[in-house]
Amino acid sequence: MSEQILFKVTVDNITIEVPAGTTILQAARQIGGAVAPPAMCYYSKLQGSGGKCRTCLVEVSKGSEKDPRPMPKLVASCRTTVMDGMEVKNITSEKVVDARAGVVEFLLLNHPLDCPICDQAGECHLQDLSFEHGKSGTRYEFQRRTFKKHDLGKHIQLHMTRCILCYRCVFTADQLTNKREHGILDRGDHAEIATHIEKSLHNEFIGNVIDVCPVGALTDKTFRFKNRVWFLKPMDAHRDCPTCSGRVTLWNRGDEVYRVTARKDEWGEIEDTPDGKPGWICNTCRFDKKQTTDWVIEGPREISRHSVIAQGHYAGNIGTTKPTETFAAINDGRSPHLLMDIHSESEVNQPNVHLGENEGPSNGATFNNNIKNA
Amino acid sequence: MGLKLLLEKANVPGIRTYDVYRREGGYSAAEKALKEMTIESIVEEVKKSGLRGRGGAGFPAGMKWSFIAKPEGVPRHLVCNADESEPGTFKDRYLMEFLPHLLLEGLLISSFALGSSDTYIYIRGEYAWVADILEEAIGEATKNGWLGKNILGTGFDCMIHVHRGAGAYICGEETALIESLEGKRGNPRIKPPFPAIQGLWMRPTVVNNVETLAAVVPIIKMGGDEYAKIGVGRSTGTKLISACGNINKPGVYEIDMTISVEDFIYSDEYCGGIANGKKLKACIPGGSSVPILPANLLLKTAKGETRYMNYESLSDGGFATGSMMGSGGFIILDEDQCIVKNTLTLARFYRHESCGQCSPCREGTGWMEKILQKIESGKGEVSDIDLLWDIQRKIEGNTICPLGDAAAWPVAAAIRHFRDEFEWHINNRELSQTSNFGLQHYADPIHVPA
C-alpha cells in the first residue's frame, strides 16, 4: 500500500492531520465537540448526500498552503474536501453563526412545530439544531404549507408537512433497493417526497428510510403514538437474521419491546458492522420481531448524544451525574411516603389527606374516608 | 448604423435555409477552421478575442475552453445552452430563429476545438418552433456534409442533437442543464467538480450560451486580435441586447458596447425613447436577476460619469450604485410602473422556479413573495422592509447555485434604491391601491467616496 498523504487542516484554531480527500465536516468531526458543524442532509453512508440543507456552512479563511486566498463565499463543509494548510472557521466566524441562524429559520419556516405529538421528538435533529443554533420566536406570519399524510406501505408513514427535503430517504431508497420508486415531485417550496403515483414500497430494506430521516417525516407505524423515546431504554441486541446483520437497538420499557432500530453513532448515523459495512437492518427485524425472546440482548446502549433520551437512564455512564441532593434535604427533612408527596400541594394529594397513613392500595373510598376523618 | 457581426445577414430573405446562408458566405469560417487551423490555434484565437460568456456571468469563453480536462479515451462534450428563460431576455431565440446555420457553424468550430463528437443544444421547451427550425437546419447541414462522419475529409466526426427542455428556468444553470440532459431531475449539482472535469455523463463538458458560440464564427473569420479591437476594455466584440418594456421600439439590437446607455434608450436607431412621451423611471439592464437601477444612476454612474452599455460600466459602483450586463435583457420601466409590484412579480417568478433543493432558496423565495404580496396589497408594515432585507441577505451566497442570488438581488436593489416607494405603499395603504407613487422623488444615489 502506498503511503497515505496527510493534509494539515485547522478548524476553529485546532489543527488536525487527515488523509487527502477528507471533507471539512469529517475532519471537524474527528476533532469533535462544538467544532463539528451540524448536518441535516449529509449522511456519510449515503453516496451523493449533502450540500442541500446549508446548515454546515463554514468560512474558509485560508484556502491552502499553496493558495492562501480565502474562499469568497461560505462553503458547505460536507462536500468540500480539505487542502493542505487550509484554515476553517466554524463557530469562531460571525458570518457562519449568522448564516446558520438564517438557515435554521428557513428550515423551521414551513415546519409545523408539532413536536408534542411527533414521534421523532426527543431524537429529532431539527430540534437539536434549532435549540443550538436557532432563535426563539419566528418572524413568519403566513400560513405554513401542509400536505396530506401518506402511507408508504404497511409500516411506514410519510408526513410531508414535517419534511425538510434533505433527500436522505431518496438516496437510501435508491442505493439500498433495486427499483427506483421513491423520489421528489414538483419543485420549490411545494416539492414533496413521493413514490411513483402513490405506490407503496415493498422492499425488504425500505424501513431504513425511517432511520435516516432527521425529522419526523417518516415514522414507524408499528411505533406511532405508542411511547415517547425518552421513556424507553435502548438496549443493544442481535439475532441471527438471514437477510441483514441483525445488529439492532431495542427500545424497551420493562420487558416490552416498543420498537427496533438500527444502531446509531453519535452523529445519528447508522453504525458499521464489524466487517465495515453499514449496518442497515431488514424490515423483518425492524417491524416483526417485537418480542424479547426474538433477541439476544447484549446490554444497555450508550447514548452519547446530549439528547433527552440520555437523561436519567444510565447516570454516570454518559456524562450526566446522579443528583447529590436527597428528597429529605429538599423537603425540609420530611422524607416522602410516596413520590407524589414531594409536591407540597396538589389536586390529588391534598394537605389534609396523609397518604402515608393508608394501609395497602388506596382507592376513592379511602380518600373520602380520610377527608371525613380529618 | 452600428457594427453588426452576428445579425449582419439577418434580414437577407431565406437566410434560414442552407443554400442562401452558404451563398452569403456561410460556413466559410468552419471551412477555414477545420482545414487550415489546428485545435490549439482556434482556442488561441478565441482567447485573444477576449470573448466573454454571453449567458449572464460574463466569464471569458477562451479561458473556459482551456479548463476542459483531456483524459485519454474519454469523450468530451460541448453543450449549447439555449434554455433562455430569464425574463426580459430573448436574444438567443432571435438568433436561432433567423440564423440557425450561424449557430450550427459556431457549434461545429467549437466542437472541433473541444473535440466533441456529440454536441447538444439544450433548448427550452417553450421554444418548440425554434427547435423545429434547428432540427431542419441540422438536416440540411448533414446533407451537405457539414455534420456527420469525416467532415470535409478531416476525419473529424460531429453530430449535433437538439434536446427540448420541459420548461424549467433552473435548467439554464449549467449543472442543472447537464442533469436534465442526462434524463434526471434538473437539480443543480454541487461544485466542485466543475463540468470541465466531470460534466455530462461524468465526462469533461463545456456549456456555452447560444450567442457565445455564434460569436465564434466572426472571431474565426476576422481573427481574435481584430475582434478584440471592437468594443472597449474587457468588453470586446458585439453584444445582442433584447430591449423591452415601455420603449417605442422593443426588439433585439446588436451593439458594439461603446454606446452610452442614454443613446441606447433615446436614439432612433435603438429603443427610440420612452413610449407615449413618458419619463424614464428605472431600468433592469441585464435580465430580471440583475439589480434594478433608478434613472439617475442608470444614465450616470455615482461618480457622475456617463454610463455605457458594457460589462465594466454597467457594473461600475458595485451593487451599491451599479448593476450588471447580465444576459442583455434590457427592461425599461416608465413613470407609471410600480416598483413594489414589479419586485413582487420577479419574486413570484423565482419562488416558482426554485428547484427546492437547498433550504435558503426553497423557503426564502416563498417568504419574500408573501411579504411583497402583503405590502403590495396594502397590508404591509414598515418592519416588513427590514425583514425583506434580512431575508435576501441570508439567501445571497448561501445557496448551491446562483438562483438564490438571482432571487435576492432584485429585492435588495429595489429596497436599496426605492425604499421611499415601499414606505409610501405602507403609509398610504388605500391610496397605494388606486394610484401610483410615480416619479415624485428617487432615493438619492448613495454617496461613494472618490
A247-253 and A256-262 as β-strands: parallel, antiparallel, unpaired? antiparallel
Query: Contact A134/B359 with Cβ under 8 angstroms?
Result: no
State whether A52 and B358 contact (CB < 8 Å): yes
A176 or B209: which leads in pLDDT: B209
Query: Contact A39/A166 with Cβ under 8 angstroms?
Result: no
State whether B353 and A106 contact (CB < 8 Å): no
State whether B356 and A190 contact (CB < 8 Å): yes
Question: Do residue B160 and residue B25 come from a single domain?
Answer: yes
Note whether residue B381 is domain-resident. Answer: yes
Query: How much is the pLDDT for A368?
Result: 65
Q: Which residues pair with B252 in a beta bridge?
A: B242
Task: List phi, psi (to 5°) of A25.
Answer: -60, -45
Residue B372 has pLDDT above 60, yes or no: yes
Mean pLDDT confidence for B288-313 = 90
Question: Do residue A115 and residue A221 come from a single domain?
Answer: yes
Note whether residue B450 is domain-resident. Answer: no
Nearest to B359 among A50, A106, A183 (CB): A106
Q: B417: buried, middle or exposed (CB in 10 Å: 19+, 13-18, 0-12)?
A: buried
Question: Do residue A30 and residue A59 come from a single domain?
Answer: yes
Write the pLDDT tens digit of every residue in A285-297.
999 999 889 999 8
Query: How much is the pLDDT for A315?
Result: 42
What gap in Å lies between CA B77 and CA B287, rounded to an integer? 28
Question: Do residue B38 and residue B73 come from a single domain?
Answer: yes
Question: Do residue B45 and residue B143 come from a single domain?
Answer: yes
How many whole angstroms from its chain centre is CA A355?
Answer: 41
Write the pLDDT tens digit of every residue in A64-107.
888 899 999 999 999 999 999 999 999 899 999 999 999 999 99
Question: Do residue A24 and residue A68 come from a single domain?
Answer: yes
B131-134, long-range: CB < 8 A, 24+ apart:
B131/B162, B131/B164, B133/B16, B133/B96, B133/B97, B133/B100, B134/B96, B134/B100, B134/B103, B134/B104, B134/B162
Contact residues on chain B for A99, CB-CB shorter than 8 A: 394, 398
Nearest to B394 among A76, A102, A140 (CB): A102
Contact residues on chain A for B366, CB-CB shorter than 8 A: 109-110, 188-189
Question: Do residue A83 and residue A60 come from a single domain?
Answer: yes
Question: Do residue B268 and residue B411 come from a single domain?
Answer: no
Secondary structure tally for chain A: helices H, strands E: 8, 14
Last residue of a domain, one of B281, B304, B334: B334
Task: List phi, psi (to 5°) of A116.
Answer: -60, -25
Question: Do residue B270 and residue B252 come from a single domain?
Answer: yes
Note whether residue A250 is domain-resident. Answer: no
B76-82 and B205-209 as β-strands: parallel, antiparallel, unpaired? parallel
Residue in chain A closest to B374 (alpha carbons) equals: A142
Question: Do residue A92 and residue A167 come from a single domain?
Answer: no
Taking residue B301's Cβ as centre, other Cβ atoms within 10 Å add up to 19
- Confidence band for B427, pLDDT divided at 50, 70 and 90: very high
Note whether residue A267 is domain-resident. Answer: no
Confirm or reject contact between B392 and chain A (CB < 8 A): no
Residue B236 has pLDDT above 70, yes or no: yes
Taking residue A10's Cβ as centre, other Cβ atoms within 10 Å add up to 18
State the residue for C-alpha cell 421554444.
B127
Note whether residue B253 is domain-resident. Answer: yes
Contact residues on chain B for A133, CB-CB shorter than 8 A: none
Three-state SS annotation for chain B: CCCCCCCCCCCCCCCCCHHHHHHCCCCHHHHHHHHHCCHHHHHHHHHHHCCECCCCCCCEHHHHHHCCCCCCCCCEEEEEEECCCCCCCCHHHHHHHHCHHHHHHHHHHHHHHHCEEEEEEEECCCCHHHHHHHHHHHHHHHHCCCCEEEECCCCEEEEEEEEECCCCHHHHCHHHHHHHHCCCCCCCCCCCCCCCCCCHHHCCEEEEEHHHHHHHHHHHHHCHHHHHHCEECCEECCEEEEEEECECCCEEEEECCCCEHHHHHHCCCCCCCEHHHCCEEEEEECECCCCCEEHHHHHECCCCCECECCHHHHCCCHHHHCCCCCCCEEEEEECCCCHHHHHHHHHHHHHHHCCCCCHHHHHHHHHHHHHHHHHHCCCCCHHHHHHHHHHHHHHCCCCCCCHHHHHHHHHHHHHHHHHHHHHHHHHCCCHHHHCCCCCCCCCCCCCCCC
Distance from CA of B294 to the nearest CA of A (A): 28
Task: List phi, psi (to 5°) of B53.
Answer: -55, 130
Our CA dihedral for B208, B209, B210, B216, rounded to 10 degrees, sits at -60
Distance from CA of A128 to the nearest CA of B (A): 17
Number of folded domains in chain A?
3
Q: B183: buried, middle or exposed (CB in 10 Å: 19+, 13-18, 0-12)?
A: exposed
Could you tell me what percent of chain B has a pLDDT over 70?
97
Residue A356 has pLDDT above 80, yes or no: no
What gap in Å lies between CA A100 and CA A162, rounded to an integer? 20
Confirm or reject contact between B380 and chain A (CB < 8 A): no
Contact residues on chain A for B370, CB-CB shorter than 8 A: 142
What gap in Å lies between CA B183 and CA B163, rounded to an integer? 10
Note whether residue A117 is domain-resident. Answer: yes
3-state secondary structure of A7: strand
Note whether residue B3 is domain-resident. Answer: no
Distance from CA of A110 to the nearest CA of B (A): 8
Question: Do residue B303 and residue B387 come from a single domain?
Answer: no
Question: Do residue B97 and residue B134 come from a single domain?
Answer: yes
Question: Do residue A83 and residue A123 come from a single domain?
Answer: no
Residue in chain B closest to A189 (alpha carbons) equals: B362
Residue A336 has pLDDT above 50, yes or no: yes
Q: Which of A10-24, B204-218, B282-296, B434-448 has the lowest mean pLDDT?
A: B434-448
Residue B104 has pLDDT above 90, yes or no: yes
Note whether residue B1 is domain-resident. Answer: no
Q: Which domain holds residue B351?
A: 339-434
Residue in chain A closest to B361 (alpha carbons) equals: A188
How many whole angstroms from its chain centre is CA A80?
Answer: 24
Query: How much is the pLDDT for A365?
Result: 67
Note whether residue B392 is domain-resident. Answer: yes
State whether B356 and A165 contact (CB < 8 Å): yes
What gap in Å lies between CA B132 and CA B390, rounded to an integer? 45
Question: Do residue B265 and residue B381 come from a single domain?
Answer: no
Q: B268: buried, middle or exposed (CB in 10 Å: 19+, 13-18, 0-12)?
A: exposed
Length reported for chain B: 450
Number of folded domains in chain B?
3
State whether B360 and A76 contact (CB < 8 Å): no
Question: Do residue B141 and residue B273 come from a single domain?
Answer: no
Length reported for chain A: 374
Last residue of a domain, one of B334, B350, B367: B334
Average pLDDT, chain A: 83
Mean pLDDT confidence for B106-123 = 94
Write the pLDDT tens digit of every residue in B144-189.
999 999 999 899 999 999 999 998 999 999 999 999 999 999 999 9
- Is the four-CA dihedral B232, B234, B235, B238 of positive or negative sign? positive
Question: Do residue B184 and residue B243 come from a single domain?
Answer: no
Question: Do residue A82 and residue A93 come from a single domain?
Answer: yes
The amino acid sitting at B361 is C
Note whether residue B357 is domain-resident. Answer: yes
Q: Which domain holds residue A343?
A: 327-373
Last residue of a domain, one of A208, A225, A242: A225
Distance from CA of B68 to the nearest CA of A (A): 21
State whether B356 and A54 contact (CB < 8 Å): no
What gap in Å lies between CA A86 and CA A31, rounded to an integer? 15
Query: How much is the pLDDT for B253?
Result: 94
Note whether residue A292 is domain-resident. Answer: no
Confirm or reject contact between B202 and chain A (CB < 8 A): no
Question: Do residue A57 and residue A75 come from a single domain?
Answer: yes
Query: How much is the pLDDT for B189?
Result: 92
- Confidence band for A316, pLDDT divided at 50, 70 and 90: very low
Distance from CA of B83 to the nearest CA of A (A): 18
Domain containing residue A16: CATH number = 3.10.20.740
Contact residues on chain B for A74, CB-CB shorter than 8 A: 397-398
State whether A103 and B365 contact (CB < 8 Å): no
Q: Which of A18-27, A244-253, A307-316 has the lowest mean pLDDT?
A: A307-316
Contact residues on chain B for A183, CB-CB shorter than 8 A: 185
Query: Contact B193/B67 with Cβ under 8 angstroms?
Result: no
Note whether residue B208 is domain-resident. Answer: yes
A-B interface: how many C-beta pairs under 8 angstroms? Answer: 90
Residue in chain B closest to A142 (alpha carbons) equals: B370
State whether A188 and B352 contact (CB < 8 Å): yes
Domain containing residue B329: CATH number = 3.10.20.600
ipTM at complex level: 0.88
State whether A103 and B399 contact (CB < 8 Å): no
Query: How much is the pLDDT for B373?
Result: 95
Taking residue A276's Cβ as centre, other Cβ atoms within 10 Å add up to 6
Question: Do residue B224 and residue B269 come from a single domain?
Answer: no
Q: Which residues pair with B162 in a beta bridge?
A: B121
Query: How much is the pLDDT for B56?
Result: 84
Residue B448 has pLDDT above 80, yes or no: no
Mean pLDDT confidence for B41-68 = 91
What gap in Å lies between CA B331 and CA B250, rounded to an integer? 9
What gap in Å lies between CA B314 and CA B143, rounded to an integer? 44
Write the pLDDT tens digit of every residue in B302-342.
888 999 999 999 988 888 888 999 999 999 999 889 999 99
What gap in Å lies between CA A106 and CA B182, rounded to an integer? 31
Question: Do residue A52 and residue A117 come from a single domain?
Answer: no
What gap in Å lies between CA A337 and CA A355, rounded to an integer? 7
Last residue of a domain, one of A160, A195, A225: A225
Q: A104: buried, middle or exposed (CB in 10 Å: 19+, 13-18, 0-12)?
A: buried
Last residue of a domain, one of A200, A225, A250: A225
Query: Contact B380/B262 with Cβ under 8 angstroms?
Result: no
Note whether residue A175 is domain-resident. Answer: yes
What gap in Å lies between CA B324 and CA A105, rounded to an integer? 30
- Confidence band for B446, pLDDT divided at 50, 70 and 90: very low
B220: Cβ contacts below 8 Å, ≥ 6 apart: B29, B30, B32, B33, B37, B42, B45, B109
Q: A122: buried, middle or exposed (CB in 10 Å: 19+, 13-18, 0-12)?
A: middle
Question: Do residue A16 and residue A74 come from a single domain?
Answer: yes
How many whole angstroms from its chain centre is CA B159?
Answer: 26
Query: How much is the pLDDT for A1?
Result: 43
Question: Do residue B77 and residue B222 come from a single domain?
Answer: yes
* Cα–Cα distances in angstroms (integers) from residue B265 to residues A56, B135, B235, B251, B332, in the given order: 46, 36, 20, 12, 9
Residue A319 has pLDDT above 70, yes or no: no
Residue A57 has pLDDT above 90, yes or no: yes
Residue B103 has pLDDT above 50, yes or no: yes
Could you tell me what percent of chain A has a pLDDT over 90?
41
Question: Do residue A166 and residue A98 come from a single domain?
Answer: no
Query: How much is the pLDDT for A369?
Result: 62
Query: How much is the pLDDT for B447?
Result: 46
- Confidence band for A179, pLDDT divided at 50, 70 and 90: confident
Q: Which of B204, B215, B216 has the alpha carbon at shortest distance from B117?
A: B204
